[in-house]
Amino acid sequence: MEEIRQKIENKTILVTGGTGSFGNAVTEKLLQYNPKKIIIFSRDEKKQFDMGNKFNSDKLKFLIGDVRDRDSVFHAMYGVDYVFHAAALKQVPNCEFFPTEAIKTNSLGAHNVIDAAIMNNVERVVVLSTDKAVHPINAMGMSKALMERIMIASSREGRGKTVLCGTRYGNVMYTRGSVIPFFIELMNSGKPLKITDKSMTRFLMPLSASVDLVLYALTNGENGDIYVKKSPASTVGDLARALIEIFNYDKGVEEIGIRPGEKMHESLISNEEVIRVDDKGDYFLIKPEPDMDYRKYYFEWIKDGHVLLENGYTSANTKQLNVEETKELLLSLDEIKQELKNWNNGK
């Protein structure tokens, strides 16, 4: 905590896509560390207005802009010390239908942010990536994978003092567009919970953990590093069942089949990346590709008994939560507590 405070105190932080779930959560956390200013950069004036009322802090500054627009990004970057780059198109189906838009925002937008940071002598940039960038099969994941490569390539150029690093995480629980609020919406409408495949697995991480991850990356990251939070997973079937039991819901589930661009299991670390991974306790650190003797690293990992070599770090081989454990995790979320209170009051 003190290390983070020393890093944040009296600093100016820019959060792109700052009116989203992550932006709200990281702003709440950053305000505890007495920053000089937090700049919220996004396209949505209504959400900026609501966020300003929510926090009511003179440390917040709101800028309307789009990461696709190079000029607006450069304008936002003046005087900034740190950047959290969270702006993205995140919905898999939308990116499948409009892949060029995903490239413009997720890849070229990231290039604009990184370039502006370097040209303005920003100290550190943390880009936020996703498990879908690992062995990507959809446009969202491909555009995010390109973002990672842009970050790593830029970190090698040595054009300025800016340290560029990243984070990669799976499903963040109860964020906009995620499956848990969708399930609760269906329950409030008295409909069966629609699931793609009961056996599909997904990482589960509270929003607070995603904030801790980016702060850890900000504090510890070096050029080209990507950090991964160790996270449990559950099957989609068990997640739905856990919610049904928590809310005592009697409409059951409806299996609708896998949508375009979806995987049965997600990956946070590929098997090719495993030889470049350092275990940091709660986190994995993926180092950028250096000039190395890959045979040496491969045999050292075999000797040390690491289990990630064959498949990488996936939602199928991480710790699997059963229904009771999933319920416990869900009930730790303030949003679920409030939804449950509303549910019981409505009966």
Going by the DSSP 8-state scheme, the letter that residue 172 receives in this structure is B
Where along the chain do its domains lie?
A: 2-170+205-229
pLDDT the model gives residue 279: 92
pLDDT the model gives residue 310: 63
Active-site annotation holder among 7, 90, 132, 263? 132
* pTM for the model: 0.91
List alpha helices for 179-307, DSSP H: 179-188, 207-220, 236-246, 294-303
Q: What's the rounded Cα separation, in Å, for the pair 64 and 253?
A: 41
Candidates 183, 105, 188; CA nearest to 139 is 105
pLDDT the model gives residue 290: 72
Q: Could you confirm whether 327 is annotated as catalytic?
A: no
DSSP secondary structure, 299-323, as one string: HHHHHTT-S-TTT-EETTTSPBP-H
pLDDT the model gives residue 305: 47
pLDDT tens digits, the chain, 347 residues: what are they?
788 999 999 999 999 999 999 999 999 999 999 999 999 999 999 999 999 999 999 999 999 999 999 999 999 999 999 999 999 999 888 999 999 999 999 999 999 999 999 999 999 999 999 999 999 999 999 999 999 999 999 999 988 999 999 999 988 998 877 899 999 999 999 999 999 999 999 999 999 999 999 999 999 999 999 999 999 999 999 999 999 999 999 999 999 988 777 889 999 999 889 888 999 999 999 999 875 555 655 555 554 545 555 678 999 999 999 999 999 999 999 999 999 999 988 76
Helix axes 45-55 and 21-30, enclosed angle (nearest 10): 30
Complete edge-to-edge strand list for the sheet that includes strand 277-279 = 60-64, 37-42, 12-16, 82-85, 124-130, 163-169, 226-229, 283-286, 277-279
Going by the DSSP 8-state scheme, the letter that residue 132 receives in this structure is G
pLDDT the model gives residue 271: 87
Domain 2-170+205-229 homologous superfamily, CATH: NAD(P)-binding Rossmann-like Domain (3.40.50.720)
Q: What's the rounded Cα separation, in Å, for the pair 244 and 219?
A: 40
Amino acid occupying residue 25: A
Candidates 147, 145, 29; CA nearest to 87 is 147
Residue 100 to residues 135, 142, 257, 262: CA-CA distances in angstroms? Answer: 19, 11, 26, 19
